[in-house]
Amino acid sequence: MKIISRKIGSNRGERRIWIEGKTLSEYGWVKGTPYVKKVYEDGTIALGKSFQGKFKIAGGEDRPVIDLNGKYVTATFKGFEKVSVRITESSITISGDLS
């Protein structure tokens, strides 16, 4: 398991979370990996690998990318400037970070 911190960015007036590179590929989150997304009201978004997932890891073979943005990110992380990202082989949990 790896835990990293990321600043919350913006895109077209909405909040954005961008995770990329070796941090993902070390745990098998490579380009084309399908996943499901669950948004919780407590300031958390969970991603889980799933063959039925309608989302896929983007980017290139050497630089996988997860790009989460839109109204749901803005609402979920209202009041936060950073997130804590916990990455395992099967899931990624993104939580608001007040530190």
Q: pLDDT tens digits for 24-83?
A: 999 999 999 999 999 998 899 999 999 999 999 999 999 999 999 999 999 999 999 999
State the Cα–Cα distance between residues 60 and 2, nearest whole angstrom. Answer: 21
pLDDT value of residue 82 = 97
pTM equals: 0.95
CB-CB contact of 86 with 29 (8 Å) = no
Strands ordered across the beta sheet of 64-69 = 9-11, 14-20, 64-69, 58-59
Within 10 angstroms of residue 3's Cβ, the number of other Cβ atoms is: 10
- Answer whether residue 99 shows pLDDT above 90: no
Mean pLDDT over residues 3-22, rounded?
96
Count H helices, E strands: the chain?
2, 10
